[in-house]
Amino acid sequence: MHSCRPARTAVPAAAVALLLVTGSAGCTGGGAGVQGTPGAAGLRDPLFPKLGNGGYDVRHYGLTLGYDPATGRLKGTAEITARATQDLSAFHLDLRGMTVHGATVDGAAAATNRAGDELTVRPRDDIEKGAKFRTVIRYSGTPRPVTNPDESQEGWLASEGGALAVGEPTGSSTWFPGNHHPSDKATYDIEVTVPAGLKAVSNGELTSERTRGGKTTFVWRSKQPMAGYLATLAVGDFRVASSRTPAGLPVITAVDPSVAEDSAELLGRIPEIMKWGTEKFGPYPFSSTGAIVVPTDEVAYALETQSRPVFPQEQFDEPTLVHEIAHQWFGNSVSPASWQDIWLNEGFATYAEWLWAEEADGTPVEESYEEAFADDGNWAFPPAGPPGAEDIFARPVYMRGAMVLHKVREAVGDERFFSVVKGWAAKHRHGNATTDDFTAYVEKESGKDLTELWDVWLYGEEKPARP
Ligand code: TRP
Ligand code: ZN
């Protein structure tokens, strides 16, 4: 009974559902009509196949959130602006837990469905490839942490009197619906309302703060594209400080009062490390910097959340601060195309630690390299090939990743190496890159065939006989 449906014709939801079932069978080119199909439920990431969604590209997230630590409940509205990359009859968003109360697409009510960590939105009218659309999702619930395949905890980490959201690799889907694969970067406005007296700190810059009726609303803006895993939100009794680097970049720091004294000195050194990073890696990609320091029991690792990395107090030390600041160039601005490319994040951030150690404490890079080479615990698998999702933060990713960079440096010489490092950060600034992009770039810039280097150091299973 269905013929090819012309675009923008109002069809009752039941008929759309039937159309989804019958598909386009029998339609032989009905002119300009949009015959959408559902966007894919995942982007087939080699390690996280269901992460992200096909058929659209998010431009902007406008999140309006309310959180009360006393109840642990989060109430949210996500306003997502996206562009369709195919004719869409429906599309997916990643959302873990939470209850969805309603959705609209371009102002019209849309049907929703939940299955596992997928939220499906079925608009009244199909969306034409290339069209920009706006979907609004209203939701609430008690967000939960995610236990990763490596047993690490991420996502929404509630604590006594507050909460901390960290999202690598998939946990951002615990607190807002979206396209949570690192390949779909977008700008963000994050508005958070909390009981008066508490602070809410997120990425980017604070654009407004007002207290009314016993509640305070903070609005944070990330003007440069951000991968979902780098979004953060810290709610609690923080001491927030705002200053500027000598170059004029805003520095926004937030510290839990119980760790304020211990972290004060290192927080004061952020401008110096920023200047060093800019000299080594090129222009800083974001419009502010800073740090969030929380008590050690709240999170087990530091994370390079965009413009404002998070640290458990015990790991708020100089090498870790250098590491997370280096990630702002490598990982946050130049983001991995898939989680298989994680060594491009961790190899560079680890190599940055080695460079810093040479200049700050006189430990030659060569020595850091040799120590990493000697340790058999670093050789379980090649850096470009973490075998499973549980391996993305394992030592070969960091240590063999940094060793690859050192081998490139030996092969092309210091001058060319540092120009390649800056050139790489510039070429993919605010974008995504694959391991193949990297090897091709190094070969092109150096004019050298480095096949053997890649085979041994990047892809090789075996530890070479000599460093
Ligand atoms: N990417 C973080 C860093 O290197 C580390 C990290 C994030 C991590 N999640 C993790 C380490 C889980 C171990 C387990 O700065
Ligand atoms: Zn790292």
The model's pLDDT over 38-78, given as tens digits with 9 standing for 90+, comes to 999 999 999 999 999 999 999 999 999 999 999 999 999 99
Q: What's the gap in Å between 393 CA and the centre of ligand 1?
A: 6
Q: What's the gap in Å between 312 CA and the centre of ligand 2?
A: 14
Longest distance between any two alpha carbons in the chain, whole Å: 78
Q: Return the percentage of the chain with pLDDT > 90, whole number.
A: 93
| CA separation for the pair 200, 235 (Å, rounded) | 4
Hey, what amino acid is at 460?
G
* Per-residue tokens: 397: 């990713």
Which ligand places an atom closest to the C-alpha of 350? 2
H or E stretch including 273?
A: helix 270-281
Which ligand places an atom closest to the C-alpha of 393? 1
Q: What is the pLDDT of residues 216-275, one digit of tens each?
A: 999 999 999 999 999 999 999 999 999 999 999 999 999 999 999 999 999 999 999 999
Q: What's the gap in Å between 229 CA and the centre of ligand 1?
A: 11
How does residue 27 score in pLDDT terms, banded at 50, 70 and 90?
Answer: very low
- Given this model, what pLDDT does residue 205 score? 98
Which ligand places an atom closest to the C-alpha of 301? 1
More confident residue, 27 or 227: 227
Confidence check: pLDDT of 11 > 80? no
How does residue 34 score in pLDDT terms, banded at 50, 70 and 90?
Answer: confident
| CA separation for the pair 101, 14 (Å, rounded) | 20
Closest CA to 228 of 164, 158, 155, 290: 155
- Three-class SS state of 121: strand
Confidence check: pLDDT of 23 > 80? no
For range 411-428, the mean pLDDT: 98
Residue nearest to atom 5 of ligand 1 (CA): 303
Closest CA to 136 of 163, 103, 97, 94: 103
- Say which residues have a Cβ less than 8 Å from residue 115's Cβ, sequence separation at least 6: none
Which ligand places an atom closest to the C-alpha of 303? 1
Which atom of ligand 1 approaches the CA of 169 most closely?
Answer: 9
| CA separation for the pair 249, 203 (Å, rounded) | 14
Domains and CATH numbers, the chain: 31-236 (2.60.40.1730), 335-458 (1.10.390.10)
H or E stretch including 60?
A: strand 56-68
Q: Please report how many Cα atoms fall inside a 13 Å half-sphere around the Cα of residue 435, on the Cβ side.
A: 22
Q: Return the percentage of the chain with pLDDT > 70, whole number.
A: 93
For range 126-140, the mean pLDDT: 98
| CA separation for the pair 291, 294 (Å, rounded) | 10
Which atom of ligand 1 approaches the CA of 398 most closely?
Answer: 4
Q: What is the pLDDT of residues 196-224, one digit of tens each?
A: 999 999 999 999 999 999 999 999 999 99
Q: Which one of 154, 172, 303 would you pick to mutate in the ligand 1 pocket, going by the greatest count of ligand atoms within 8 A of its CB?
A: 303
Residue nearest to atom 1 of ligand 1 (CA): 303
* Per-residue tokens: 413: 């010489």
- Residue pair 145/139 in contact by the 8 Å Cβ criterion: no
More confident residue, 297 or 25: 297
- Pocket of ligand 1, beta carbon within 6 A: 150, 152, 168, 301-304, 323-324, 346, 393
Q: Which one of 157, 299, 301, 325 would you pick to mutate in the ligand 1 pocket, going by the greatest count of ligand atoms within 8 A of its CB?
A: 301
Which atom of ligand 1 approaches the CA of 304 most closely?
Answer: 15
Residue nearest to atom 11 of ligand 1 (CA): 393
Residue nearest to atom 9 of ligand 1 (CA): 168
Confidence check: pLDDT of 9 > 50? no
CB-based neighbours (< 5 A) of ligand 2, an ion: 346, 349
Phi-psi region of 389 (alpha: psi -120 to 50; beta: other; left: phi over 0): alpha
Confidence check: pLDDT of 87 > 80? yes
